[in-house]
Chain A
């Protein structure tokens, strides 16, 4: 059986500068992978390229998702196929109620997959259930998307969407940035509730701290646009002790 996500020898440029120099990564269903590395190692670039953000030029390699060529798909097609990116900095969309946004997006995905759109009562029921489990008040869903949300609320809103859209691959880009311990715990609990044998997660982070809450099956260390070391969850602890410096030379 083929892997859920297969990144092979990926080379990516931004404005003539190569950021990823042949990165490979295999993620199977049910696995949680952590990607760690210093600033500028290419972690976020990887997440953006998988999700299809414009502005990146893929000069070599390939990305297969469920055996299909992901790079040939538009970002919304990728979303409908089950790729979800939880943003490091979720954007604000004034005037668009969160509830409206959720329903529009969910129905767009379902439509793209040839499924029927949710009826209003079914949708509301589903959102309410998920929102309650994440400690998200109804009032927040009536506000504009992320408008006036605290850092913690924004991240919880990301997890809410993840729960609602039921993607098969979740990429969490620096979910811990800007969160205090309590906010982090709530968001992480939400993510853990979504772990399943049918779903994989890629958790991108600088710090080991997040991995105390979301315990990975595999840890990869990135440096200068490559994966330089892979291992089990203990690798994260090792990094916490010794830092990233030891890998800088290896990558060069």
Chain B
């Protein structure tokens, strides 16, 4: 047997087992009834086989949530959500199995094609399940197995390498069983269960998410990106991510996918907590491209996310980079608490809204330690009939002497039916803090577009080029292989934005 084929065979064999016991969580198909109650919270916790303290933690969050009000301060408008009309457990499995790509919305397929996603991966993203007996007559979930086949060969190599370095990277539900002390020590210490309406809801009902621990002095040997992209498909609507970089360690983590995800869950409320101890650095990148709703503004995902990083140790650094192109509503403020002296927080953001999308996003940089620094670069692009708001807070505590911030918020309008808004809050409680804020709003001019098309670019290529120029500073912050995809994604998101 040729060596290549042999390897393929071997990986295939390893695969099936790895799939069962590996990164994927096997979720039973039984589901909890609609609605939210203490019983549902108990049900979820039991399903996950969680320790008693975790159940208590969830219940406490649930009781707290009952007393809270949904926030209304964001510049977003959506019909009232009936929280008793949602499934809280079966949600991650609600993707309907499709028999072939023919059943998928052709618009989505076109996008896959433009992004250059291989056919197989397209099927997985779109949720296609091949019927039994097709091809080599394998198990009903042949495509899924194939997907794991494609990815686990990579994934197993990754796992071995990570293990060698001592990095723990697993679903949080597994971590709760295998590393309960670590989880207990850090969970909810950055975003407490009482934090806000959506974070509290997440604390009560989160289904799964990722857990990363990088031991002292370890530089994580790879971007935790390719790996995650492959494993993303079954994440549910209430994700919980916890990343701890111990003293002197470094990790770069990437969540999301440039390909649009077919998703029946309308409400997403994730929580991400990052903790950087002394001299540690965490780089967290997101590409979000959930369903934004149809051309009339119907449907689409509501994305209410709480992301926060705690620069707990001295000289620590946390950097957020986000490319937000999807969702009907985005409510998201990845923030940094700069607790350790000399710690540094960064926020680089590209938020694109088209059609009827509404984005209210920004960051908070809370300077608590001495000589802490932060940098905010936000690029908002509004097209169609969308509304795009940057909302940010920069604050310096009384003791945060010598703290510095630089903020630049640029907005670009395409067309005349969209809106861009900037809402910066700045609070300096000591006289040595130095905060700078710059903001611009501009419009893509007809003259610029005409110049480009006169040189042979199509109208859409021209818009893509101009916008990519506008967001260049931020794109440069993304991991290399992702920056290219993100660039294409930006052009695609703006298609049809110019008449």
A residues within 8 Å of B by Cβ?
Answer: 51-55, 74-76, 79-80, 84-85, 87, 90-91, 93-96, 101, 104-106, 108-109, 112, 144, 161, 165
**Does B450 contact A105, Cβ atoms closer than 8 Å?**
no
Q: A177 to chain B: closest CB distance in Å?
A: 16
Interchain Cβ contacts under 8 Å between A and B, 9 examples: A75-B454, A76-B459, A87-B454, A93-B452, A96-B468, A96-B469, A105-B456, A106-B456, A165-B456
A75-B454, A76-B456, A85-B454 in contact; A94/B470 too (CB < 8 A)? yes
Within the assembled complex, what's the spacing in Å between the Cα atoms of A79 and B445?
A: 20
| Cβ–Cβ < 8 Å partners of B50 in chain A | none
Q: Is the CB of B469 within 8 A of A105?
A: no
Contact (A74, B465) CB under 8 Å given A91-B445, A91-B448, A108-B458:
no
Is the Cβ of B447 less than 8 Å from the Cβ of A91?
yes
List 8 extra interface pairs beyond A104-B465, A106-B456, CB under 8 A: A75-B453, A76-B454, A79-B453, A85-B454, A91-B451, A95-B473, A161-B455, A165-B456
Report the minimum CB–CB distance from A84 to chain B (whole Å). 8
Q: Could you tell me if A80 and B456 are in contact, using CB atoms closer than 8 angstroms?
A: yes
When distances are taken between beta carbons in the complex, the residues of chain A under 8 Å from B457 are: 76, 104-105, 108
Given the complex, which residues of B lie within 8 Å of A91, measured CB to CB?
Answer: 445, 447-448, 451
What CA separation (Å) do A24 and B260 show in the bound complex? Answer: 52
Please give the distance in Å from B212's CB to the nearest CB on chain A. 33
Chain B residue contacts of A144, Cβ below 8 A: 469
A94-B469, A95-B470, A96-B468 are known contacts. Are A108 and B454 too (CB-CB below 8 A)? no
Q: Please tell me if B120 contacts chain A, counting CB pairs below 8 Å.
A: no
Evaluate whether A104 and B461 lie within 8 angstroms (CB atoms) in the complex, with A51-B454, A79-B455 already known: yes
Residues of B within 8 A of A101 (CB): 455, 465
A107 — nearest CB in chain B belongs to which residue? B456
The answer to whether B466 touches A54 (Cβ under 8 A) is no
Residues in A with CB closer than 8 Å to B453 are 52, 74-76, 79
B446 cross-chain contacts in A, Cβ below 8 A: 54-55
Rounded to whole angstroms, the CA-CA distance of A95 and B412 in the bound complex is 13
B10 at the interface (CB under 8 A from A): no
Residue in chain B with minimal CB distance to A112:
B456
B456 contacts across to A, CB distance below 8 A: 76, 79-80, 105-106, 108-109, 112, 165
- B472 interface residue (CB < 8 Å to A): yes
How long is the Cα–Cα vector from A85 to B451 in the complex, in angstroms? 9
B 460-496 contacts with A by CB, 8 A: 461, 465-466, 468-473
Given the complex, which residues of A lie within 8 Å of B459, measured CB to CB?
74, 76
Q: Assess A54 versus B452: contact at CB under 8 Å? Given A95-B468, A96-B465.
A: no
Q: Give CA–CA (A79, B471) in the complex, Å.
A: 27
Task: Give the chain A neighbours of B469 by CB distance below 8 A.
Answer: 93-96, 144
Cα of A75 to Cα of B450 in the assembled complex, Å: 8
A118 vs chain B, min Cβ distance (A): 13
> 8 smallest A-B Cβ distances: which pairs?
A95-B469, A96-B469, A109-B456, A105-B455, A95-B472, A79-B456, A108-B456, A75-B453
* Distance A161 CA – B457 CA, assembled complex (angstroms): 14
B-side contacts of A112, CB under 8 Å: 456
Q: How far is the CA of A91 from the CA of B454 in the complex (A)?
A: 12
Min CB distance A90 to B, Å, is 7
Closest to B442 in A: A94
Write out the residue numbers on chain B whose beta carbons fall within 8 Å of the beta carbon of A74.
Answer: 453, 458-459
Q: Which chain A residue shows the least CB distance to B466? A: A93
B367 to chain A, nearest CB (A): 30
Q: How far is the CB of A233 from chain B (nearest CB, A)?
A: 28
- Known contacts A76-B458, A96-B465; is-contact A105 B470 (Cβ 8 Å): no
Nearest Cβ distance between residue A77 and chain B, in whole angstroms?
9
Give the CA-CA distance A227 to B472 in the complex, in Å. 47
Assembled-state Cα–Cα distance A90/B459 (Å): 18
Please indicate the chain A residues that have their CB under 8 angstroms from the CB of B454 in the complex. 51-53, 75-76, 79, 84-85, 87
Instruction: Tell me the minimal C-beta distance from B310 to chain A in angstroms.
Output: 33
The residue among B450, B461, B466, B470 with the most chain A CB atoms within 10 A of its own CB is B450
How close is A104's CB to chain B, nearest CB, in angstroms? 6
Chain A residue nearest to B473 (CB atoms) is A95
A101→B451 CA distance, assembly (Å): 11
Roughly how many angstroms separate A63 CA and B323 CA in the complex, as a whole number? 45
| A34, B448: Cα distance in complex, Å | 26
How far apart sit A80 and B436, CA to CA, in the bound complex (Å)? 46
**B212-260 interface with A by 8 A CB criterion:** none
A105, B468: Cα distance in complex, Å: 15
Task: Knowing A54-B446, A91-B445, say if A96 contacts B455 (CB, 8 Å).
Answer: no
Contact A96 B450 (CB under 8 A): no
Contacts of B473 in A (CB 8 A): 95
For the complex formed, measure the closest distance between the CB of B189 and the CB atoms of chain A, giving whole angstroms: 39
Say whether B450 contacts A53, CB under 8 Å.
yes
A52 to B465, CA, bound (A): 20
A105 to chain B, nearest CB (A): 4
Whether B472 lies near A105 (C-beta < 8 A) is no
Q: In the complex the two chains form, is B455's CB within 8 Å of A95's CB?
A: no
Interface centre among B459, B461, B465, B470 (most CB of A within 10 A): B465
Residues of chain B within 8 A of A84, CB atoms compared: 454
Please pick, from B448, B452, B471, the residue contacting A105 in the complex, using a CB distance under 8 A: B452
Q: Across the interface, which residues of B come within 8 angstroms of A94, CB to CB? A: 469-470
Alpha-carbon distance A48/B22, docked complex (angstroms): 63
Q: Whole-angstrom distance between the alpha carbons of A108 and B466 in the complex?
A: 15
Instruction: Give, as a whole number of angstroms, the nearest-CB distance from B477 to chain A.
Output: 14
Chain B residues closer than 8 Å to A76, beta-carbon distance = 453-454, 456-459
CA distance A106 to B454 in the complex (A): 11
Most buried by A among B451, B456, B459, B465: B456
Closest CB in chain B relative to A228 CB, distance in Å: 28
Chain A's closest residue to B461 (CB) is A108
Chain B residue with Cβ nearest A102: B455
Q: A78 to B446, alpha carbons, bound, how many Å?
A: 18
In the bound complex, residues from chain B placing their C-beta under 8 Å from that of A75 are 450, 453-454
Give Cα A55–Cα B450 distance, bound, in whole angstroms.
11
Q: In the docked arrangement, what's the CA distance between A161 and B472, Å?
A: 23
Query: With A and B bound together, what is the CA distance between A213 and B445 in angstroms?
Result: 33
